[in-house]
Amino acid sequence: MTCFRFAPSPTGYLHVGNARMALINWLAAKHLGGKFILRLDDTDKERSKPEYADGIREDLAWLGMAWDAEEKQSDRLAAYDAAFEQLKKAGRVYQCYETPEELDYMRKRLRARSLPPIYTPPSAEKLQSFIDEDRTAHWRFKLSPGTIAFEDLVRGPVHFEAEKLSDPVIRRHDGSWLYMLPSAVDDRDMEMSHVIRGEDHVANTALQVQMFEAMDAPVPTFAHLPLMTDIEGGGLSKRLGSLALRDLRADGVEPMALASYLAHLGTSDDIKAEDSLEKLVSAFDFKHISRASPKFDPAMLSRLNAQVLHATDFADIADRVADGIDESLWNAVRANLERIADVKLWFDIANADIDPLIGDEDGEFLNQAASLLPEGEPDSETWGVWTKAIKAETGRKGKGLFMPLRKALTGLDHGPELKSFLPLIGRVRAVARLQGQKG
C-alpha cells in the first residue's frame, strides 16, 4: 500500500509553499491509489498553537484535500523513547556536553582552516571533564562511515559520504526532541512508502536513511522538490503574510485556481485552470517535475482565477454572492470577473444610480440613440436591432458607435457584452443615462 504524508508544524498559518508540498503529496497518493496522512509535527510546545492546527485543517479542506488519517507527534512521545532506547542499545546514539558557544567556536576554527564544520567527539579526557563539571548531556545519532545512497524521484541518484556529515543532534539536554528522529520513527510506524518534501531536506534524508537502517525499518522512496521563489527568483519568506492561504482566500482566490497553479507550477505541463482535482490527479507524474526553482507569480494566479470564474456556473457560487444577484447577471458578467466579489460592481452598475460618461462630441449622438431605443423592456435581441438602427441613422460604426454607448450606459470603457447587460439595466435607466442624467 502506498502512503504519503504532509507533516507541517502548527507554528503558523499555511502559505503557498506549504500548500504546494501538501498538494503534490495528495495528488501522488490519489494517483497511485494510496493513503494520505496529515501529521502535525507539534513537539515545539512553545510555538505550536491549536489555532494554527485548526487553520491548517481549514486550508487543506478549502483546497479540497481530504486526509485518510491524522496524527500528532505530541501523542507519540512513547514511540520516540522506545526508538531512542533501541538505538542506544545498538550503540548508535551518544552523549555530548558542548555548549552552543563552544560548538560555534569549533565550527569557526574548522572554517578558518578551510575544513568542513563537522562535529568531532571530544577526547576521553575532555569528555570526563565535561562530566565532572556536571553538565547536562544532549544526544547525537552516530553515523556509520561509508556512502549513503538513495534514488530520488526528482533529482535522480543521490550520494553522500557519511564522513563529511556531522552526527546530528536528536535530543536536547532537557529531553525534548529535534526534528530528525521523531520524523523517521513516524515514517517507520506509519509505513510511509514515499516522502516528498523540499530540496532543503536532502542532507536530512541522508541522515535519516541511516536511522531507518539502524531501526531495521524499510527506507521510503524520496522525492525532493525545488523550493518556490518569488517572480524575481528571491525567497518567499518576506511575503508569507500576503501568501498565506487564509489571506488568499479572503482576497477572493478560488481553491481550484490555486490548486491548478500549484500543481502545474514547476512542471513541464501547461499552466492552466482545471475544472476538477480529479483532472490534476490523473495528470500527475513525478517525471514532469522540473529541477528548476518554480517562480510564484501572483499575476498568473489572478489569470487562472479569472479562468475558473469564467467557467463557473451560477449554482456553484449562488450561496457566496450578495442578495439580488441572480443567474442572468452572473451569466452576463462572469467573463469579466477576476474575483467573485467583482460581480457586486456590475450589480450596482445595473441597478444603482451612476454618472454616465459622455464626451462633448457625443451628446447629440446619444440623444439620437435614446430616441431609437425600441419600446418595451430590452431583451437579448434588443441590442442588435437597436445598434443596427443607430448605425443606419447616424452613420457611425465600430468603436465610434459602441464606445460612447458603453460609457453612457455603464460609466466605464470596458465590461460585459451589452447584448446581455442592457436588459439588466432596463429601458428607463438606459434612456436616462443616454440623456446624460444620473440613473
- In this predicted model, what pLDDT tens digit does every residue of 127-153 receive, in sequence order? 888 888 889 999 999 999 999 999 999
In a domain, 331, yes or no: no
CATH number of the domain bearing residue 97: 3.90.800.10
Same structural domain for residues 154 and 88?
yes
Same structural domain for residues 60 and 88?
no
Same structural domain for residues 65 and 205?
yes
Same structural domain for residues 372 and 388?
yes
pLDDT digits (tens, 9 = 90+) for 244-255: 999 999 999 999
Confidence of residue 110 (pLDDT cuts 50, 70, 90): confident
Per-residue pLDDT at 238 exceeds 60: no
Find the largest Cα–Cα distance for the chain: 106
Question: Measured at the alpha carbon of residue 410, what is the angle toward residues 405 and 416, in degrees to the nearest 5?
Answer: 90
Same structural domain for residues 220 and 149?
no
Number of domains in the chain: 4
Asked whether the beta carbons of 190 and 39 are under 8 A apart, the reply is yes
pLDDT digits (tens, 9 = 90+) for 271-291: 999 999 999 999 999 999 999
In a domain, 110, yes or no: yes
User: Percent helix, strand and coil across the chain, each rounded to 5?
Assistant: 50, 10, 40
**Residue type at 16?**
V
Mean pLDDT of the 33-37 span: 98
Q: What percent of the chain has pLDDT over 90?
A: 85
In a domain, 11, yes or no: yes
Same structural domain for residues 132 and 184?
no
Same structural domain for residues 62 and 191?
yes
Per-residue pLDDT at 236 exceeds 60: yes
Same structural domain for residues 184 and 43?
yes
Same structural domain for residues 53 and 104?
no
DSSP structure class, residue 177:
B
In a domain, 231, yes or no: no
Give the per-residue pLDDT at 107.
87
In a domain, 326, yes or no: no
Same structural domain for residues 85 and 38?
no
In a domain, 95, yes or no: yes
Give the per-residue pLDDT at 117.
87
Per-residue pLDDT at 237 exceeds 60: no
Mean pLDDT, all residues of the chain: 94
The whole-angstrom separation of Cα 421 and Cα 329 is 8
CATH number of the domain bearing residue 390: 1.10.10.350
The whole-angstrom separation of Cα 171 and Cα 417 is 66
Mean pLDDT of the 381-408 span: 95
Q: State how beta strands 3-6 and 35-40 pair.
A: parallel
Confidence of residue 230 (pLDDT cuts 50, 70, 90): confident
C-alpha cell recorded at residue 411? 460609466
Single residue among 133, 154, 171 that ends a domain in this structure: 171
Q: Among residues 149, 108, 140, 134, which one has the least CA distance to residue 122?
A: 140
CA 182 to chain centre: 26
Asked whether the beta carbons of 345 and 352 are under 8 A apart, the reply is no
Asked whether the beta carbons of 289 and 225 are under 8 A apart, the reply is yes
Mean pLDDT of the 33-61 span: 95
Q: Which domain holds residue 355?
A: 337-439
In a domain, 325, yes or no: no
Same structural domain for residues 57 and 192?
yes
Residue length of the chain:
439
In a domain, 194, yes or no: yes
Residue, of 34 and 439, whose pLDDT is higher: 34
Same structural domain for residues 343 and 436?
yes
